[in-house]
Amino acid sequence: MSRQRVPRRADLSQHFLRSRSLAASLIAQAPLTRSDLVVEVGPGRGILTRELARRCREVVAVEFDGALAEALRTRFRGDDRVTIVRSDFLRFRLPDSPYKVLGNIPFNRTAAIVRRLVEADPPPRDAWLVVQREAAERFAGGPGARETRSSLLLKPWWQIEIARHLRRTDFDPPPRVDAVALWLARRSRPLVDRLEAADYRRFIRSCFGRDGRSIWRCLRSEFTRPQIRRLGRDLRFDPSGPPRSLTFDQWLALFRFRRFTRS
């Protein structure tokens, strides 16, 4: 049976994957098993949905575009592994049972969707998202791009990495920016206790200064000058350097030292 090609809505920042083989490769690389319940964000024309249905126990595909949602219902009619829901993902009620999230999401909603996932109760075990590269680097941080406030606020509870780089020509229409697959894996043992989470976030927000500010200036409201000198020696950083030169492990050690001295 032929499938109707639904026009793209430019206002939804839709960039569909072109290739079935690429979709299959992305799903094969994603951390999925046969027993998984997967919530797909923005299934679009269903190219990833099709591969997910072959790989997972159940797929709940959440599509905002009404025309696309109707076309998907027609395409997957009779497949009891796939449920199509027309909804704004930011308002969609996530499952109470263990689940994972996957999607080629609208680039202009990346920050809101990631925030929705990491603040969910319960959050997904894994999220595998095709996003704009620049946004992914803000969340992943790391040695090359250095840490950002966004990455530092997530990493005690999530392992985050850019798992794959995609070409602009992999999409219809090609975006004006580079895209990647971003992987967020929930840590089985968080590095900051739930009861200390709010304090950690306050610490990062107060200390992680703007570009050009020194580590001295960022830390002086939390530590004495002798403490900063000692921490610089022990953690191997230059207090006169910029905050972005500190790694996540160093920020975590600073927070733990602060907690120890105030306990």
Q: Are 56 and 37 in contact (CB under 8 A)?
A: yes
> Whose structure tokens read 């998202």?
129
Indicate the pLDDT class of residue 2, thresholds 50, 70 and 90.
Answer: very low
Indicate the pLDDT class of residue 1, thresholds 50, 70 and 90.
Answer: very low
**DSSP letter (8 states) at residue 157:** T
**Residue 103 token pair:** 């999607």
> Whose structure tokens read 């499952």?
95
Percentage of residues in the chain having pLDDT higher than 70: 92
Q: Are 71 and 132 in contact (CB under 8 A)?
A: no
Pairing relationship of beta strands 171-172 and 16-17 according to DSSP bridges: antiparallel
Q: What was the pLDDT predicted at 259? A: 84
Q: At what angle do helices 248-262 and 197-207 cross, to 10 degrees?
A: 120
Integer CA distances (angstroms), 170 to 19, 53, 88, 182, 185, in order: 7, 22, 25, 16, 25
Q: Which helix (H) or strand (E) holds 235?
A: helix 225-235
210-262 pLDDT, tens digit each: 555 789 998 988 999 999 999 999 999 999 998 888 999 999 999 999 988 87
For the chain, the distance separating the N- and C-terminal CA atoms, rounded to the nearest angstrom, is: 68
Q: What was the pLDDT predicted at 213? A: 79
52-106 pLDDT, tens digit each: 999 999 999 999 999 999 999 999 999 999 999 999 999 999 999 999 999 999 9
Q: Are 214 and 239 in contact (CB under 8 A)?
A: yes
Indicate the pLDDT class of residue 146, thresholds 50, 70 and 90.
Answer: confident
Strand intervals (E) in the chain: 16-17, 37-41, 58-63, 82-86, 100-104, 126-132, 158-166, 171-172, 179-186
